[in-house]
Amino acid sequence: MSGGPRQVSPGSPEWPERLSHLDHPPQELWVRGPVLPGARSVAVVGSRRATPAGLSIARELGGLLGEAGVNVISGLARGVDGAAHLGALDAGGPTTAVLGCGIDVCYPRQHAPLSERIAGSGCILTEEPPGTQPFKANFPKRNRIIAALVAAVVVVEGTERSGALSTARWAADLGREVLAVPGSIRSPQSRGTNLLIRDGARPYLGPEDLVQAVPGLAATGAGPAGGPSLAGLRRPLLEILERMGPTPVYPDELGQALALPAPLVAARLGELEVAGAVLSLPGGLVARTF
Amino acid sequence: MKARRGTSFGPPQEAVDARKQRKLRTLLELYRAQTHRQQQPCRIDVLALMMDGSLGVAKVEHIEDAVQGE
Amino acid sequence: MIASAIGCTVQGLAGVPVTVEAHIANGLPHFAIVGLTDRAIQEARERVRSAVQNGGFEWPQRRITVNLAPAEVPKEGSGFDLAIAVAVLRAGESGIDSSGTAFVAELALDSSLRPVNGVLPMARCLAALGMRRLVVASQNAAEAALVDGLCVLPATRLQDVVEHLRGLLPIQPARPGAGADAGPAGPDLAEVCGQASAKRALEIAAAGGHNLLLTGPPGSGKTMMARALPSLLPDLEPDAALEVSAIYSLRGLLRERPAMSLRPAFRAPHHSVSRSGLVGGGVGIAQPGEISLAHRGVLFLDELCEFPRSHLEALRQPLEHHAVTIVRSRAAVTFPAEFVLVAAANPCPCGHLGDAKGCNCDLRQLQAYDARVSGPIRDRIDLQVSVPRQRFGDLFGGSEGEASAVVRGRVESARQMRSGRLADPAAGTARTPSALSRSYRTAPAARRLLARSGERLRLSARGFVRVLRVARTIADLAGDDGVGEAAIAEALHYRGEMAA
């Protein structure tokens, strides 16, 4: 397993080079886990209260990066952070959680199993001394470390007051690439990312945008094109899919829009679910996954 | 022997309730002990007398062996 | 001086004839009732004596012993009063002929007869045993007269009963209760605007007897949809209707409802219902609960997650076995409970998921809520469908939907197809997904789709079986011999189990 936490100081061979880009780099780091992030690292951050589509995107992106061997860095929070870590772990890739509390403090508590998995293959790190509680003020400090460690930050979802936006600002100040997943202008969870795009962030529409922004990421040639594929879907299924966005809708709305009887809509949605193109959500709503 | 003038409280034999029956049995046993007649068979009968207005006996009902032992 | 009269009690839904023996012996006045009786029967001593005296008869001032046989059957309630009175009077007086006649009624102190619960199942049992006549309180006459081959004599006073038995003044037999009642009480499907998915799910539920979960924001019409379900179910067979009426009789609910209704019942207990009120039980001899009152009909649980978890756990056995067994210290009784469960819930804790108002819940809350909604009975729910709030435009401009009668026609032919298939012995025993799939004649393409769904949607084995059964019903509705890809895909969409 991970063993106990250890201290890493500037000057140690393990010390991440990029941290020196900060005006006030951490004095030292408490670390749990074998692998500290190297140059090929990307942060995937976003809202705690993400939408199902946002979680799905975060997990998928974590997986794609994990498959390509890119270290996925995030903040171990609920929502997007957790989903990104999980995607990377499931793909067998390294992932790094940067905490806003002491290395021995588990926050949020329901991510205890997740943090064990991360400490098993990647690492958990923090600049806070052991025993520090997750004070609100620690999180902006934590965000500057995430921003410093990576080549690029992808913000998946967030309101305009989301902490993910502070990570994006730190990243922009440090000259890192900032990407944001665009969303509906009606969705509060996409308000923050849409604002970032207006302010000059690159829209993230797919992994190719990331490779374009940071060519070094594709170094090992794992040009990720995985995920569910539209190829092979029959025309009637595409017709339904075209009517759907990441915002969940009721099947009845689709039926009305396409003038299709309910049994047919249900059958096509069932097939699309099996194909992985549509997600069935609590409350009987459906959403497109990509 | 139990007598009643009317039936508004029920017939006379009904007044021989469990308590009175217990008393009668105790009385019988005392009598047998004092007179050394334990071996002799004996029984308790109840005579229910209905009286008319002038306290004459209107009707007699004889219930043999009315109070049986434990 | 010994005489008897026939009474009756119930164990579960079965009547049990009881012989009431009365013995009058010499001795001081005494009145004892023996034979595994409850409090109400011990109190019968006072009621019966007063009723006999107030009826103008003489109460024997001697030692009276009444025995209720068979002694091992627990007996309860006031329904033996009349039989006890008749037995005692017969023991004291010849000329009262009670042969071939049974007696079930409570006596009031003034000698009038009062109705009791459970007369219908008792009448069924007595008729089956060859009793020719049954004397009941006139309020119970209509339900008792539903039973063929039994002459029901309604009486209002003890004197009338005795006069009849003496052959002096015969009681006119009650005529069989009025026929089936008029149409369904619930709304017609044509009155419901929009809601295409929910209507479709109701049709499938009606055809295959599948349990259904409706989710939707408050005021979207979940209750109305549920109330419309009985109108899609076919009429009950007379035998089945009699069985249902017998359950209502046990609860004493037949006096305010048509004695014999061919329409399936609709029961909607509130979530504050007690556990025994829901599944059956209660003090003394067990009473049928709401789930048995919904027998061969619809049980609607609105606000499913407001029901205590223990109540929902208690529903699992009846949902599996279509009957409920209530174990008591003195006896265990079984009531039938074969119903279609319709549950309704808000889509999320705030109730506005997918609504124009927008939902404030995050996914973790949603998942926790979802687990609470259907956790205990999740694997008993075959269909899950949303009932979105209707826009005003839909409410007024929407096209008229199909009438319930039209849908019921399809449901009836689908049910015929199913019963034809169930006659095949191989079909009845199939339990595993693959055996079911064979007996359902699942097309190869449909089987491939099902196999793919296993990986992608992480269906459990139970989940597979449910999807297959729903798909079979969909094919029945379409009149298809085999289960095609479209039927499987549609069933997958309605599955009550989400991909993790």
Residue C418 is assigned to a structural domain of this protein: no
In a domain, residue B70? The reply is no
Residue A43 and residue A164 in one domain: yes
**Tally of domains in chain A:** 2
Asked whether residue C177 is assigned to any structural domain, the reply reads no
CATH of the domain at A195: 3.40.50.450
- Summarised one tens digit per residue, pLDDT across range C440-489 is 888 888 888 888 887 777 777 888 888 999 999 999 999 998 899 999 99
Chain A interface includes C96 (CB < 8 A): no
Give partners of A (≥3 CB pairs < 8 A).
C
Distance CA(A127)–CA(A7), nearest Å, equals: 10
Tell whether C370 is within 8 A of chain A (Cβ): yes
Query: Are residues A19 and A156 part of one domain?
Result: yes
B8 touches chain C (CB under 8 A): no
Domain limits for position B32 = 2-63
Q: Which chains lie within 8 Å of chain C at 3 or more CB pairs, if any?
A: A, B
Range of lowest pLDDT (A191-195, C54-58, C256-260, C384-388): C256-260
- Asked if C195 reaches chain A (Cβ–Cβ under 8 Å), the answer is yes
Establish if A103 belongs to a structural domain: yes
In a domain, B39, yes or no: yes
Q: What is the pLDDT of residue C487?
A: 93
Instruction: Looking at the structure, tell me whether residues A239 and A163 fall in a common domain.
Output: no
Domain interval for residue C436: 424-500
- Which tokens is B41 given? 């068979």
DSSP string covering C73-94: S---SSTTHHHHHHHHHHHH-S
Q: Tell me phi and psi for residue B9, to 5 degrees.
A: -105, 20
> Above 80 in pLDDT, residue C423?
no
H-type helices in C19-66, by residue range?
39-54
Question: Would the pLDDT of C214 be above 70?
Answer: yes
Structure tokens belonging to residue A178: 């900032």
* C203: CATH: 3.40.50.300
pLDDT at A47: 92
Give a yes or no: residue C181 inside a domain: no
**Same-domain check for residues C373 and C473:** no
Residue C499 predicted with pLDDT over 50: no
Q: Is the CB of C386 inside 8 Å of chain A's CB atoms?
A: yes
pLDDT for A290 equals 59
C108 lies in the same domain as C19: yes
Lowest mean pLDDT among C218-227, C244-253, C276-285, C301-310: C276-285
CATH number for the domain harbouring residue A252: 1.10.10.10
Q: Does C110 fall in a domain?
A: yes
CATH number for the domain that contains residue C139: 3.30.230.10
Residues A11 and A135 in one domain: yes
Q: Which residues contact C148 (CB under 8 A, 6 or more apart)?
A: C127
User: Same domain for C217 and C345?
Assistant: yes
Residue of C213, C305, C346, C362 for testing the chain A interface, max A β-carbons within 10 Å? C362
CATH of the domain at C489: 1.10.8
| A278 and A134, same domain (yes or no) | no
Whether the predicted pLDDT of C378 surpasses 80: no
Which of A47-61, A211-225, C105-119, C319-333 has the weakest average pLDDT?
A211-225
Q: In this structure, are A128 and A243 located in the same domain? A: no
Angle at A242 between CA A236 and CA A246, to 5 degrees: 130
Per-residue pLDDT at C256 exceeds 70? no
Closest approach of C63 to chain B, Cα-based (Å): 10
Tokens linked to C341: 């469960």
Q: What is the pLDDT of residue C3?
A: 93
Contact assessment for residue A278 and residue A265, using Cβ atoms and an 8 Å cutoff = no
Backbone dihedral angles phi then psi of residue C352, each to the nearest 5 degrees: -115, 20
C453 Cβ under 8 Å from any chain A Cβ: yes
Based on the fold, state whether residues A47 and A137 are members of the same structural domain. yes
Question: What proportion of chain C, given as a percentage, has pLDDT over 70?
Answer: 88
Total domains in the fold of chain C: 3
Structure confidence at residue C427 (pLDDT): 57
Q: Which segments within C238-327 are labelled E, that is strand?
A: 266-267, 280-281, 287-288, 298-301, 323-327
Mean pLDDT of B30-37: 86
pLDDT at C353 over 90: no
* C 34-63 near B (Cβ less than 8 A): 61
Q: Which of C192, C195, C197 to mutate to test binding with chain A, by most A CBs within 10 Å of its CB?
A: C197
pLDDT-derived band at C363, boundaries 50, 70, 90: low
Domain span at A48: 6-220
Please answer yes or no on whether C456 and A274 come within 8 Å at the CB atom: yes
Interchain CB contact of C364 with A (< 8 Å): yes
Mark which of C344, C367, C401 sits at the end of a domain. C401
- pLDDT of C185 above 70: no
**Nearest residue in chain C measured CA to CA from A47:** C362
Q: Please report whether residue A265 resides in a domain.
A: yes
As for how many domains chain B has, the answer is 1
B69 in any annotated domain: no
A255 part of a folded domain: yes
Are the beta carbons of A250 and C354 separated by less than 8 Å? yes
Same domain, A138 and A259: no
Mean pLDDT for chain C overall: 86
Query: Which of C26, C27, C61 faces B11 most closely, judged by CB atoms?
Result: C61
Do residues C401 and C190 touch, judged by C-beta distance below 8 A? yes
Measured distance CA(A10)–CA(A8) in Å, rounded = 7
Query: Is A25 in the same domain as A110?
Result: yes
- Note whether residue A1 is domain-resident: no
Indicate if the pLDDT at residue C67 is higher than 70: yes
Interface contact flag, A279 C499, Cβ < 8 Å:
yes
Q: What is the mean pLDDT of residues C219-228?
A: 89
Q: Same domain, yes or no, for A144 and A15?
A: yes
Q: Which of A63-77, C258-272, C356-370 has the lowest mean pLDDT?
A: C356-370
Q: Quick one: C294 and C391 in the same domain?
A: yes
Residues of chain A contacting C443 with CB distance shorter than 8 Å: none
Give the model's pLDDT for residue C350: 73
- Per-residue pLDDT, A226: 40
Say whether both C85 and C207 belong to one domain: no
Q: Is residue A230 part of a domain?
A: no
Low pLDDT (below 50) residues in chain A: 1-2, 219-229
Which residue from A minimizes the CA distance to C454? A274
Chain A residues with beta carbon closer than 8 angstroms to that of C358: 188
CB A213 within 8 A of CB A62: no
Which residues in chain A have Cβ-Cβ distances shorter than 8 Å to C449? Answer: 271, 274
| Highest mean pLDDT out of A90-94, A226-230, C104-108, C165-169 | C104-108
Structure tokens at C32: 């004892």
In a domain, A177, yes or no: yes
Within a domain: C415: no
- Is C463 within 8 Å of chain A by CB? no
Weakest mean pLDDT among A210-219, B61-70, C366-375:
C366-375
